[in-house]
Amino acid sequence: MQRIILVVLLTLLVNGAMAPRVMAAETPAPRPNIIFIMADDLGFGDLGCYGQQRIHTPRIDELARQGTKFTQAYAGGCVCTPSRSCLMTGTHGGHTPARDNVPHYRTYLQDDDVTVAEVLSTAGYRCGGVGKWSLGDAGTVGRATNQGFDTWFGYLNQDHAHYYYTEYLDDDEGRLSLAGNTQTRAHYSHDLLVERALEFVLASKDGPFFLYAAFTVPHFGSASEDATRLPVPSDAPYSDEPWDQQAKNYAAMITRLDGDVGRIADLVDSLGLAENTLIIVTSDHGPWHGMPKLFDSAGPFRGEKRDVYEGGIRVPFVARWPGHVPAGATNDAVFAFWDMMPTFAELAGAQTPDDIDGISVVEALRGGELAAPHDYLYWDYGHNRKTYHQAVRMGDWKGVRHGAGGPIELYDLSRDEGETTNLADSQPDVVHRIERIMREAVTPSPRYEVGKRYTGSAIWTPDTR
């Protein structure tokens, strides 16, 4: 009931029946379709347009030439569930409903959580999703089709998404059976996700629509599927490379993704929708530590998935929207996944909840500078006392802390994007400001019961006084 009331109120706000909580800026007409393509475990350095030399990504590189490549875009978190939660709810890691991969079963979205899809739905958007959801299983209120999506196909459960040759895929409120697929390997799940994404675009061509394509490649798979944990139907075009099988498979997964991004863009173009469709390609966080090292997947950055250093949270972010997003440009605006909700809302003429952390970055998409950038960006990971990590970006300063009450490392990203030189001792005032942000940015969540043991470690909440 709370959810129904909230959505009705949002709709009334859009129609001007009540004083709006957040005034939306004047938007282009007609409102653009939005396609948000998010890979899983794709590193900043895995794409040709970001410097990759060995893996071929011609279609995403082409989108970068047709649009803008952003160099300081950040994921919502350094692992899957919180990053997706930040994206969907417009809140950073200190406030978002799901703050860690474990215990994700207890932190699914609830009726009173508001998602990007719900916001866009109030503005008349048809919302569809494919891929990995992570924020609510079948039969729970957190499932995608109870969170603003008209349709969802793929994996509701995060652990289920580790299986590329799965026996079923979630299909709206039901399941598509793929019985026997584990043995026959007749259906590679990524290929099915792409086909459904194309079907959604075709069925929604009269718009406006929002497609959230949360693809699972190149995330590692189940160990039972492939000894390399990177299962793919073919290692072409890398079969003859003098690499180990894991490297061939990883590269093949990325090139397969690249071709499928191209298929989506081609369909948009063939339908005459290019000038009214914003396409974004990004990743949910940095690369897995087990990825082949010869690719330098994290690019120039320190760290990887599960790290709050730049390698774990800075992600590729390519945007194309002809006539609106500058072509062939590179933009160094600083923003994060929680900014997508207000950005898409502004483009759609919709309203957002009051209690989000995001800001609209439409100015940056259009090639300008942000008039009112964030005072800071915040991330954390690992909710027990020993493995609790925090990071704050404040201007060009980046603070990182490991463990409860541990010392804060300080880096100047304008001079040291690889985070190699700790300046904490020479900048005590900056460290003090960042320490205060780390304390104040976190609102303890009842979904993480303090002292509750989930995976051998007790959940712990930092002192936010």
Q: Clarify whether residues 258 and 306 are in a common domain.
A: yes
Q: Clarify whether residues 183 and 247 are in a common domain.
A: yes
Q: Clarify whether residues 322 and 432 are in a common domain.
A: no
**Domain interval for residue 242:** 30-365
What pLDDT, on the 0 to 100 scale, is given for residue 455?
Answer: 56
How far apart CA 152 and CA 87 sit, in angstroms, is 17
Q: Clarify whether residues 359 and 398 are in a common domain.
A: no
Q: Clarify whether residues 263 and 412 are in a common domain.
A: no
Q: Is residue 268 part of a domain?
A: yes
* 65-69, 190-194, 446-450: least confident range: 446-450
Confidence tier at 5 by pLDDT (50, 70, 90): very low
How far apart CA 465 and CA 412 sit, in angstroms, is 28
Angle value at C-alpha 251, between 315 and 268, nearest 5 degrees? 65
What CATH number is given to the structural domain containing 302? 3.40.720.10
The pTM (predicted TM-score) of the whole model is 0.92
Q: Clarify whether residues 292 and 338 are in a common domain.
A: yes
Q: Is residue 35 part of a domain?
A: yes
Confidence tier at 26 by pLDDT (50, 70, 90): very low
Q: Please name every residue paired with 277 in a beta bridge, in sequence order, or none if there are none.
A: 33
What percent of the chain lies above the pLDDT cut of 70? 88
Confidence tier at 382 by pLDDT (50, 70, 90): confident
Q: What are the structure tokens assigned to 97, written together?
A: 């409903």
Q: Is residue 25 part of a domain?
A: no
How far apart CA 369 and CA 326 sit, in angstroms, is 13
How far apart CA 427 and CA 19 sit, in angstroms, is 45
Summarised one tens digit per residue, pLDDT across range 161-185 is 999 999 999 999 999 999 999 999 9
Summarised one tens digit per residue, pLDDT across range 217-230 is 999 999 889 878 99
End-of-domain residue from the set 334, 365, 396? 365
End-of-domain residue from the set 308, 337, 365? 365
Q: What are the structure tokens assigned to 315, written together?
A: 């992600």
Q: Is residue 313 part of a domain?
A: yes
Q: Clarify whether residues 413 and 296 are in a common domain.
A: no
User: What is the distance between the terminal CA atoms of the chain, rounded to a whole angstrom?
Assistant: 34
Q: Is residue 292 part of a domain?
A: yes
Q: Clarify whether residues 101 and 39 are in a common domain.
A: yes
Q: Is residue 24 part of a domain?
A: no
Number of domains in the chain: 2
How far apart CA 307 and CA 78 sit, in angstroms, is 6
Q: Clarify whether residues 418 and 321 are in a common domain.
A: no
Helices marked H in 130-217 — which ranges?
181-184, 189-203
How far apart CA 87 and CA 134 sit, in angstroms, is 12
Q: What are the structure tokens assigned to 330, written together?
A: 């590179």
Classify 203 as helix, strand or coil: helix
Q: Clarify whether residues 254 and 397 are in a common domain.
A: no
What CATH number is given to the structural domain containing 464? 3.30.1120
**Residue among 12, 18, 8, 31 at smallest CA distance from 346:** 31
Q: Please name every residue paired with 211 in a beta bridge, in sequence order, or none if there are none.
A: 35, 128
The set of residues, in sequence order, having a beta carbon less than 8 Å from that of 259 and lying 6+ positions away, is 59
Asked whether 203 and 212 are in contact (CB, 8 A), the reply is no
Q: Clarify whether residues 301 and 422 are in a common domain.
A: no
What pLDDT, on the 0 to 100 scale, is given for residue 166?
Answer: 97
Q: Is the pLDDT of residue 457 over 60?
A: no
End-of-domain residue from the set 365, 390, 420? 365
Q: Is residue 19 part of a domain?
A: no
Q: Is residue 298 part of a domain?
A: yes
CA 420 to chain centre: 26
How far apart CA 364 and CA 337 sit, in angstroms, is 14
Classify 88 as helix, strand or coil: helix
Q: Clarify whether residues 166 and 202 are in a common domain.
A: yes
